[in-house]
Amino acid sequence: MKKSQTEFEQEFGLVALTVDVDKLIPYARNSRTHSDTQIAEIAASIKEFGFVNPIIIDDDYNVKAGHGRLLAARKLGMKRVPCLKGSMTETQWKAYVIADNRIAEKATWDWSMLQTEVQELMQADFEIPIIGFEEALFQQVLAQVPTEFVGDAHEERDDHGRESKEQDKGPEETEDEPNPTRPETSAFKQVQLLYTMPEYERFKHACDEAAKELGLTNVTDVVFAKVVGECR
C-alpha cells in the first residue's frame, strides 16, 4: 500500500521533495571527492536507470550525501533532482557525512556471483561500462581468478581507486613480523589513503605506465590487474 507524504515523514523522519539544482549547497568540508571519470560514470548510470537514489539534504538545502549525483546532474543539464530532507543536529550531520561513505567501503564482492551476473548482462547486450567496470579489469573477473585471492584483495573502491581496508599490510606481513622496508605508519597506507610518502611519484609513474599498457584509468584496477597477472 502506497504511503502518503505525511505517513512517510512520520515513519522515517524524512521529507521527499524535488529541488532546483541551483538551490542545493554542496558541503564545503566534504572529505569525499569525485573524479571526472566517476562523475561521468554516475551520469551514465542516471541516464540508464533514472535518478533512483535521492540526494540527502538538511533543512537549509545543504547537501549531506549525494555530491557525486549532484555533479552528475549538473553535467547532464538537469534543472531539478529528487531529494530527501532530514533533520539532525549539526554534530550528527557531520558524522553522517563521513559514515555514509566509510561504512559503504566495508562491503566486499562475491566475485563468483558477480561473474555470473555480468555474463548474463553481456548475453543481453547490456553496455557493461555503465555498471562501473572498465573492460580490461572485467576481463580479469571473467578469467575466473582464484576466489582465495580476489576475496580478500579487491575491496570496494573510493573515488580515487583506493581500497578501503585489508591492504594496509603486505600479503606476507603480520603483526608479529613487520615489514622492515616501510615505516610502522605504513607507507602502503600512505600511498593509498594520503598520497604523502616520498616514493609516491615513483609509484604514480609506475601506475601511469601500467595504466597505458592495460587501458585502465583506476589505480586500484591497475594494481589488481598487475598482481593477478603475476599470480596466475
Q: How confident is the model at residue 48 (pLDDT cuts 50, 70, 90)?
A: very high
Contact assessment for residue 192 and residue 163, using Cβ atoms and an 8 Å cutoff? yes
Buried b (16+ CB within 10 A) or exposed e, 178-194: eeeebeeebbbbbbbbe
On the question of pLDDT at 95 being above 80, the answer is yes
On the question of pLDDT at 216 being above 70, the answer is yes
Lay out the sheet containing 63-65: strands in order across: 14-20, 80-86, 55-57, 63-65
What is the bridge-based pairing of β-strands 80-86 and 55-57?
Answer: parallel
On the question of pLDDT at 69 being above 70, the answer is yes
Instruction: Decide which of 138 and 63 is more confident.
Output: 63
pLDDT for residue 10: 82
Contact assessment for residue 105 and residue 155, using Cβ atoms and an 8 Å cutoff? yes
Q: How confident is the model at residue 115 (pLDDT cuts 50, 70, 90)?
A: confident
- CATH 3.90.1530.10 maps onto the chain at 5-105
Domain 5-105, second-level architecture: Alpha-Beta Complex (3.90)
On the question of pLDDT at 211 being above 70, the answer is yes
Instruction: Decide which of 203 and 173 is more confident.
Output: 203
Cell 539532525 belongs to residue:
88
pLDDT for residue 145: 47
> Rounded to whole angstroms, how far apart are CA atoms 73 and 97?
20
